[in-house]
Structure formats: C-alpha cells, structure tokens
Amino acid sequence: MGRPANNLCPNGYNGQVKRDLRPLRWIGSAKKDLLAMPDEVQQVFGFALFNAQIGLLHPLAKPLKGFGSAGILELEEDWRGSAYRAVYTVRFAHAVYVLHCFQKKSKRGIATPKQELEVMRERLRQAEARAKEVEG
C-alpha cells in the first residue's frame, strides 16, 4: 500500500492543516454569545469559522454590506424561526477575528439593525488595534 496523496495519513489526518491553521481571536462577548446559541447553529458557524481559519470561504459567508471590504464577512443561519448572525474578519494575516454573534430580533426586513452595526464597527476597531500590537 502506497502513501496517500496530498500528505494525508491513512486515517485522514492532514498535517498541513495544523501548520496553516490561523487562530481565532474573539472580540468582546462574541464567543459567549455564540455559545448561547442553539447547538445546531454553533455547529454551522463553527465549521464556517474553521473554513476561514484554513483560508477557505464557506458557502454561507457573504461580505457584510456597509463595511467597504470583502474582508468583513457575515454568516446567516435561520433555525426554527429565529435568525442568527456571526460576523468575522479575515483582514489580518495572523488570525481570524470574530467580531460579533447575535440573534436577529428585528422582524422588519432583512437589514441588520443599526445597534448591531455599531457593535460591529466598535469591535472592528478593537480587532485592528489588537492586530497592530501583534503585527507590530
């Protein structure tokens, strides 16, 4: 039996992933807020964030409107009549920053509520400051 292609071990472990995995950095209460969501939503968002860590774009990830860059992405998941969102940035080479996770309460339209956008902008500023410290 020959060696599997693409540096995969026979059990499917890919050593390349661990080497290329960008860490997640949580801003504000984003992690606590994600963990308060239903397990099914956590699994979907968790897998999408893992994709970001290894440099892939999950099909649910869309550029967040109003932030001027594809480097700010939003995940949307509807579960049992409730809408959940997670927002993260891949702007920085050393890490993926999770800016905000929330349940969308507004029943009016699909627009993200202004209050949530303000939280995202503030947390993006915090992420930029942390990234400057790390990248020096």
Is beta strand 82-89 parallel, antiparallel or unpaired with respect to 96-104? antiparallel
Report the C-alpha gap between 66 and 87 in whole angstroms: 13
Phi/psi of residue 77, nearest 5 degrees: -140, 130
pTM for the complete prediction? 0.82
Which is nearest to 74 in space by CA: 108, 98, 55, 41? 98
Identify the bridge partners of residue 62 per DSSP, sorted by sequence position: 74
Phi/psi of residue 89, nearest 5 degrees: -125, 140
Is beta strand 62-63 parallel, antiparallel or unpaired with respect to 24-26? unpaired
Identify the bridge partners of residue 88 per DSSP, sorted by sequence position: 73, 98
Digit-by-digit pLDDT tens for the chain (136 residues) are 444 455 555 555 555 555 679 999 999 999 999 999 999 999 999 999 999 999 999 999 999 988 777 689 999 999 999 999 999 999 998 999 999 999 987 666 667 888 999 999 999 999 999 999 987 6
